[in-house]
Structure 1
Amino acid sequence: MSNFSIISSILDNDFYKFTMQNAVIKLFPSAKAKYEFINRGKHSFPKNFVQILKENLNKMAYLKLSNEERIYLEKYCPYLDSSYLDFLNKYQYNPKEVSIYQKGKNIKMNIEGLWSRTILWEVPLMAIISELYYKLTGSKRISDKKIIILTKEKLKKYKNLQVKIGEYGTRRRYSYQVHKLILEILMEEGSSFFMGSSNVHLSHIFSIKPIGTQGHEWIMFHAAKYGFNIADRIAMENWLNIYSGNLGIALSDTYTSSVFFKNFNKKLSDFFQGIRHDSGDPIFFVQEAIKHYKKFQINPIKKKIIFSDNLNPCKVAYISSFCKNKINPCFGIGTNFTNDVGVPSMNIVIKMVRAIPEKKWISVVKLSNVKEKSTGKKNMIFLAKKILHL
């Protein structure tokens, strides 16, 4: 067990971690961040889980960007400039940034340090926790053959719906092996409608462009630095300044979509190719987005909505039929691809909880469009809602 490494490449991570890391280095090089593991599903972890988790963590310190991986990034992600790739070349995980301990059947975990460094931990850590959990609890999955049949059935449905889909399933995958198998099937069966994977390492293996833009922590940090009211707007403006129109999908639900749309002014609505929906009623969101674009005389059919909230073929069919001839939907499918293997999928997250934008630690919160997805200290959530009149 102990000589087995779950994460074998520094690129086995979601693409948006690298795009955000690049932006952080350029704009907030001295900012610090603290993240916390949240066991939403109240999973019981077996004895000595943390010990084996730490062994995997310590091995990550030896990962380095290979020459071949750098060449891949230069070719497929031209907006990551050479100064950033030089940084990534020298980057190594530092396990001292992560503290973990086990209390009975629960685990506590914090990550703390420079934001530009600690930003890469979240996704691989979750993938490790997920894979180890199934290994150590002896969860038996369905066979590869069944996974192939099941995935092909889903892809047939997506093909019939004539929708564009991407794979977003790194963080809660059953295992690396299942994840890779899913991508093989997607590459074979979905070539006409498969947009790509958010996993950079697997995208490299299959020679495709990774997909993704930014995560909630980008906007949460801006709220700590500039205030809740204008966090969305400044976060988007900063993004535009770094990527000048590339990676132009804006995340819409850090402080609820209604607050986002107030910040999404004409200039930003023009420049960004679309928006990502990650919580709340998708149909209501589509209606609000269309109304918003029309207000600025922007034709919604020229814009995209990327849906990424707990999707499956049934949900995709429902959303895409509503969007037809109104706006362009795309679908980022996560756990339903990489962990639909006959065991319950894990409900775990790792979220930024505090940041130092200037001199002192400030609690950060995410409000989301649904209460269950909100994170942060209760008093800070209360304050944010008060300031935003929610």
Structure 2
Amino acid sequence: MQTIPSALISSILDNDFYKITMQQGVIRLFPAAKARYKFINRGKHVFPDGFSVALRKAVNEMALLKLSKEEKQFLAVNCPYLDPVYLDFLEGYRFNPEEVHIEQQGDQLSVHIEGLWYRTILWEVPLMSLICELFYTMNHSERISKEAIISRTREKIEKYRELGITVAEFGTRRRYSYQVHRLVLQALSEYGTGSFIGTSNVHMAMLHQTKPIGTHAHEWFMFHAAYYGFKMANAMGLEHWVQVFRGDLGIALSDTYTTDVFFRQFDKMFSKLFDGVRHDSGDPLEFANKVIAHYQHMGIDPRSKTIIFSDGLDYEKVERIAEYCRNRVGMSFGIGTNFTNDAGPKAMNIVIKMTEAHPKDGEWTEVVKLSDEPGKHTGTEATINLAKVILNIP
């Protein structure tokens, strides 16, 4: 078996910002809730012998991570909507590797996470990045050179600047490696003036003195469905987000139960209060049309709102979307794997999703995601069908 470098995750903030923001919301509103998550191998990747052992070692090492004084200060200064009480909590937080269950049968990997939601919420992103980096290392994958990564990234961000759009880096979960991620941020920071506006990775934002970007993920609404039912999930999720952040972090994720269902509950109050919406599945041009029509119906100028496009983007897709939306609605782009895993080998296609939630005084309830692209649905067939019936989704 190949020797694996230790401490692949070196900072507790090497995570996506929406995990931090959601964790504050969960601590405030649902401190007794529990959650279960599952690794989904969408790309049917074959894992080498000993992979689970290497992953277990890397996960165990995460128990040593803790928020430094400098990291706490960075969050306090740059994210004033994070409570001092929450920052004190995060300073004392430690990953508990016992919450992560790892097995390997032949060449197939099984990973499950279970525990209090406010604790387990931080596992998904670093776990996925660990799986990716170990996969490439143990398969002896060869990547392009440091100079080539910087050159490719520079070329991309300069082309985006020529398009006249703003771009954020969203690629932590499926990055080739931590080092490649650092190189990408180095190039974006150096050559991206006028286009590059920040990163979803809090650690990288601090290292490169840029803005951490993110609001909430699908699991926020999935939990609300377990607690309040499918019909109330979007409205209660948005209501609670406003309750916690009071107008900050105002980009709403729209496709947990399809965009059509979301807009039924995205009433005038929410439409005015939130700065815009994020697109994460389905046809982006069709989505743009729906967003523009919705705001016009509400008597709101769509150009005063923003769509964050973040679904598997590359230059060609971004160019097509930008030309379609220009002068019709505000827009920005979150680009992930095309930045952080364009290093030679094929990018992995993996996810980790919440599968069950246990609200306080409730019981374990299956949760699902019904995105605008059926191939991205998650959950059991029975629960997916139940949600479709309740929400009148064909």
TM-score by length of 2: 0.98
1:359 matched to 2:346 = no
What is the distance in 2 between the residues matched to 1:232 and 1:17? 18
Give aligned pairs, total: 390
Structure 1 residue 298 and structure 2 residue 318: aligned? no
Letter of the 1:388 counterpart: L
Q: Counterpart of 2:348 in 1: which secondary structure?
A: coil
How much has 1:86 moved relative to structure 2? 1.0
Please list, as runs of the form range in 1=range in 2, the aligned pairs for 1:76-115 lying within 5 A after superposition.
Answer: 76-115=78-117
DSSP 3-state at the match of 1:80? coil
1:377 counterpart = 2:392: no
Structure 1: gaps spanning 5 or more residues: none
- 1:76·1:208 contact (CA, 8 Å) conserved in 2? no
Give the corresponding residue for 1:68: 70
Q: Can you list the C-alpha shifts for 1:232-278, whole angstroms capped at 9, x where unaligned? A: 11101110111011000000100000000001000000000000000
Displacement, 1:206? 1.2
8 A Cα contact 1:304 1:327, kept in partner: yes
Counterpart pick for 1:143 among 130, 142, 145: 145
Q: Which residue of 1 aligns with 2:56?
A: 54
Question: Once the 2 structures are TM-superposed, how far is the Cα of residue 51 of structure 1 from its aligned partner?
Answer: 0.4
Contact conserved, 1:15 with 1:198, CA < 8 A, in 2? yes
Kindly indicate whether the alpha-carbon contact (under 8 Å) linking 1:307 and 1:329 is maintained by their aligned counterparts in 2: yes
Q: Relative to 1, partners in 2 of residues 1:83 and 1:340: Cα closer, same or farther, differing over 3 Å?
A: same
- Amino acid aligned to 1:241: Q
Which of 172, 186, 199 is 1:197 aligned to?
Answer: 199
Separation (CA, whole Å) in 1 of partners of 2:252 and 2:38 = 25
TM-score (ref. length: structure 1): 0.99
Q: Measure the CA separation in 1 of the matches of 2:74 and 2:125.
A: 21
Amino acid at match of 2:62: M
- Give, in whole Å, the separation in 2 of the partners of 1:142 and 1:236: 43
Q: Which amino acid aligns with 1:346?
A: M
Q: Please give the alpha-carbon distance, in whole angstroms, between the structure 1 residues aligned to 2:77 and 2:210.
A: 10
The code of the aligned residue for 1:379 comes to A
Equivalent residues of 1:40, 1:349 under 8 A apart: yes
**Cα offsets for 1:253-309 (capped at 9, x unmatched):** 000000000010000000000000000011111111011001111010000000000
Distance 1:303 1:359 in 2: 38
SS at match of 1:275: strand
| CA shift for structure 1 position 183 | 0.3
Report the Cα distance in structure 1 between the residues aligned to 2:342 and 2:5, rounded to whole angstroms.
27
Letter in 2 for 1:163: I
Instruction: Answer yes or no: is the 8 Å Cα contact 1:77–1:209 preserved in 2.
Output: no
Which secondary structure state, in structure 1, belongs to the residue aligned with residue 230 of structure 2? coil
Question: What is the CA–CA distance in structure 2 between the aligned matches of 1:183 and 1:313, rounded to whole Å?
Answer: 18
Map 1:169-180; keep pairs closer than 5 Å. Answer: 169-180=171-182
Q: Deviations over 1:87-110 (max 9, x none)?
A: 101100000001001000001110
Alignment of 1:1-390 (within 5 A): 1-2=3-4, 4-357=6-359, 358-390=361-393
4+ runs of 1 displaced by more than 6 Å? none
In 2, the alpha carbon distance for the partners of 1:384 and 1:2 equals 43
- Cα distance in 1, alignment partners of residues 66 and 152 from structure 2: 36
1:333 aligned partner, one-letter code:
I
Tell me by how many angstroms 1:3 deviates: 5.2
3-state SS, counterpart of residue 70 of structure 2: helix
Aligned AA (1:364): V
Check the 8 A contact 2:101/2:111 in 1, yes or no: yes
Q: Deviations along 1:70-125, whole A, 9 cap, x unmatched?
A: 00100011100111011101100000001001000001110000000000000000
Deviation of 1:359 after TM superposition, in Å, equals 2.3
Aligned-residue identity in percent: 55
Contact between 1:39 and 1:349, CA under 8 Å: does it hold in 2? yes
User: Alpha carbons of 1:128 and 1:250: their partners in 2 closer, same or farther (altered >3 Å)?
Assistant: same
Deviations along 1:25-82, one digit per CA (max 9) or x if unpaired, are 0000000000000001010000000101111100000101011110010001110011
Distance 1:318 1:231 in 2: 33
> Partner amino acid for 2:362?
K
Deviation of the 1:137 alpha carbon: 0.3
Q: 1:47 touches 1:105 (CA, 8 Å); kept in 2?
A: yes
- Indicate if the aligned counterparts of 2:34 and 2:117 stay in contact, CA closer than 8 A: yes
AA at the equivalent of 1:297: G
Q: CA RMSD in A?
A: 0.8
The 8 Å contact of residues 254 and 366 in structure 1, kept in 2 or not, is answered as yes
Q: How far apart are the structure 1 equivalents of 2:165 and 2:280?
A: 18
SS in 2 for 1:229: helix
